[in-house]
Amino acid sequence: MPPSKSGIADYSVALIAEMEKRAAVEIFDSASAVFDPERHDIALYHLGNNPFHDFVYETAVRNPGVVVLHEANLHHLIAHLTIKRGDWDAYLAECELNGGAEALRFARRVRRLEVGPDYEGVAMTRRLLDASKGVIVHSHYVARETRAQGFNGPIAVIPHGAAIPETNRLATRHMLGLDETTPLIGAFGYLKPYKRIAESLRALRRLVKLDPRVKMILVGEPHPDFPVDQLIRTLGLRDHVRIVGFVPIEHFVDYMGACDIILNLRYPTVGETSGSLQRALGLGKAVVVSDIGSFAELPDDICLKVPIGPHEEDLIFEYLNTLVSRPDLAKAMGARAKDWVERECNWGVVADQYVDFLQRVSSGKANEKANPILAPEPAPKAETQAVPEPVATEETHAEVVEEAPAVTPATAPEPAPAEPVLSEPETAEPIGPEAISTWLSPESRPYAETHKSRFVHTLELTPRGDETKAILEMGAYMQMTPALRFTLGYGYVRGCYYGPPGRVDHKVLTSETGEVFECDVDHFDAEKHVYPYADESFDTVLCCELIEHLFEDPMHMMSEINRILKPGGTLVLTTPNAGSLRAVSAILLGYHPAFFPAYIRPRKPDEEAEARHNREYVPMEIQHLITDSGFELVTLETGEFLDAPHPELGWVTHMLERYSLSHHLRGDGIYAVGRKTGPVKNRWPNWLYA
């Protein structure tokens, strides 16, 4: 685990955060931790080919469990456990176990210091695999290597997880002394020769002769045996290349976000899947990879692949030249990459697949073949690679390979934003404005006409009910409320509104067609009082255009909503968008960006004033609000209150695109749907409370 300088440490942090939502997880991250296998259903071991994992390897051999092979070779790790500890006999025994008599003869030469260890040739995984109940890998390449090394148990191919990090591209570029138009190429991670740094720099030397604006950054710890700074000087690239060196992960991601193109080349490979690569794809960057190992299995339309061979440098140059001269192509490829990561590699989906496989192994059902393989192994690659055209990608899931049993992942939530719609609710038929207008009184029609698009879309997002289902509308103005019964079908409809606790109003409405709707509306303070409902009373709660009015403790409201919702119940929340195109336009033109920031003038004693907006939110904050409150985010999108074009805001969209800023989730209203998964996670989130 961190602060180890290991990509697997960063991987483990992200995976554990999601697995803990699905299983009871205990972490052992040092040799001093006392591990009692009898206290757990299954052990999960993360292993990489470096000394950080010595205690993991030794524990996995003693106490069999499921091993995650982040690469198909552990020779460096075994050399550390044997040679570095002065145990040459153990090293010789491991070589013989893994490679037979020929490997033993070579190992004896290593012991006589005639040659170095055969790090790439002998994988040194046999003892570990013989002791393991199951294996998780990130690619078919490593799955095939694991089979070749003699493992006959269940193997699950689970994608390498990836988050969609937030970065400040313009701020990082400013620190680098670059404007928004400078083409910036980046290479990330430990600066070893096998990252094809030399080939990339030689290709860059050719590129800057065509476009002198191009810059490159190398972000990662330099390798002592690879004098990259000297190479940069020799190639005359000191004005074009900067070695940033090792940086903490948050700055590492910021530098990645500042780039237009990212090189993730490597040869040779032992099947490792790069966490840096996954982050780059998740950031929507144009990425160039080596067409080898696990990287060859990536969809052809989300990256460019460079075959290893005599023309490697030429193709790196051609790809970089194409992406620099065609930024539209680079952006389109990056957008497809980001979509692929969100769909296939988000940590929620990955954690579901981990837990499903672990359950099968621990229950002895991992060898059942009742479920078909969900996606085929990638087809062999052609010898040449052309710049890909935009094509649709097929969904891929956790797979079981060769003679290993099939594994079907559990149903997973769609990923967190940044795209507008995360999932579509099921509706029996479209909902029209008549579902609301037929119940409106004359005095409420002007407001409803302005907001009819919001009302209708809110109903479309709300799950259908039946006679057994109960729904609560908070801040009920009795405009959408009858539709909850007569359009959505809920058997029990209740409303609530701000007022003295204990007061209950009985509302009776008659539609234009003569139907009668009755509903009780409770009064209380949504951010102070305990709501007058028992735990787990409702299947659905609507909280529409309410949270922006709260001025003291919005998480009290979210906590009470969580309490009164049944497990798996749904929260539908709408609120104005403080990050809309309209708001951005207003603040740049010198106006206040909020919808309703004005204070309310004193009214007569019998007049009820409209509540002002105390705090408006942006979509990212609503996402955090929902997840902090114990909900799984199902939908996050924005839309307009009126279905009308806004050509006057086109200049804002143009500006956002020019500076590579997102123009998604920029509608005037935020629509969010959450599904209750457990208790409140963070009662006082730092992003909301000082």
Quote the pLDDT of residue 407.
Answer: 32
Q: What is the pLDDT of residues 486-512, one digit of tens each?
A: 999 999 999 999 999 999 999 999 988
User: What pLDDT, on a 0 to 100 scale, did the predictor assign at position 380?
Assistant: 52
CA 209 to chain centre: 38
With a cut of 60, say whether residue 97 has pLDDT above it: yes
Say if residues 582 and 668 touch (Cβ distance below 8 Å).
yes
Mean of per-residue pLDDT scores for the chain: 88
Residue 380: left if φ>0, alpha if ψ -120 to 50, beta else—which one? beta
- Model confidence at 95, in pLDDT bands (50, 70, 90)? very high
Residue the block writes with tokens 């959408």:
480
CB atoms within 10 A of CB 284: 24
Percent of the chain, pLDDT > 70? 90
Distant-in-sequence, close-in-space partners of 60: CB < 8 Å, separation ≥ 6: 43, 45, 47, 67, 128, 131, 132
- Residues 629-641: tens digit of each pLDDT: 999 999 999 998 7
The C-alpha torsion from 62 through 67 and 71 to 73, rounded to 10°, is: 30
Round to whole Å and give the CA distance between 86 and 80: 9
| pLDDT at 678 (0 to 100) | 94
Compute the radius of gyration of the chain from its Cα atoms. Answer: 29
Task: Give the residue-averaged pLDDT of 372-397.
Answer: 41
For residue 405, what pLDDT band results from cuts at 50, 70 and 90? Answer: very low
Closest CA to 264 of 231, 310, 224, 218: 218
Per-residue pLDDT reduced to its tens digit, 273-329: 888 999 999 999 999 999 999 999 999 999 999 999 999 999 999 999 999 999 999
Tell me the C-alpha to C-alpha distance, in Å, between residue 11 and each of 1, 17, 18, 48, 84: 9, 10, 11, 12, 27
Q: What are the tens digits of pLDDT across the range 634-683?
A: 999 999 877 777 888 999 999 998 888 888 999 999 999 999 999 999 99
**Mean pLDDT on 537-566:** 97
Q: Is the pLDDT of residue 222 over 90?
A: no
Instruction: Map out the domains of the chain with their CATH numbers.
Output: 1-74+125-161+346-412 (no CATH), 169-336 (3.40.50.2000), 434-676 (3.40.50.150)
Confidence of residue 572 (pLDDT cuts 50, 70, 90): very high
What pLDDT is stored for residue 659 in this prediction?
87
Helices (H), 494-591: 554-564, 581-588
Q: Which of 552, 572, 591 is nearest to 669 (CA)?
A: 572
SS3 (DSSP) at 120 = coil
pLDDT value of residue 67: 98
395 pLDDT band (50/70/90 cuts)?
Answer: very low
**Confidence (pTM):** 0.73
* Among 119-123, 267-271, 310-314, the least confident range: 267-271
Do the beta carbons of residue 548 and residue 613 sit within 8 Å? Answer: yes
How are strands ordered across the β-sheet holding 631-639?
Answer: 504-510, 516-523, 492-497, 470-474, 538-544, 565-576, 669-676, 631-639
Q: In what order do the strands lie in the sheet with 66-69?
A: 44-47, 66-69, 134-137, 155-157, 399-400
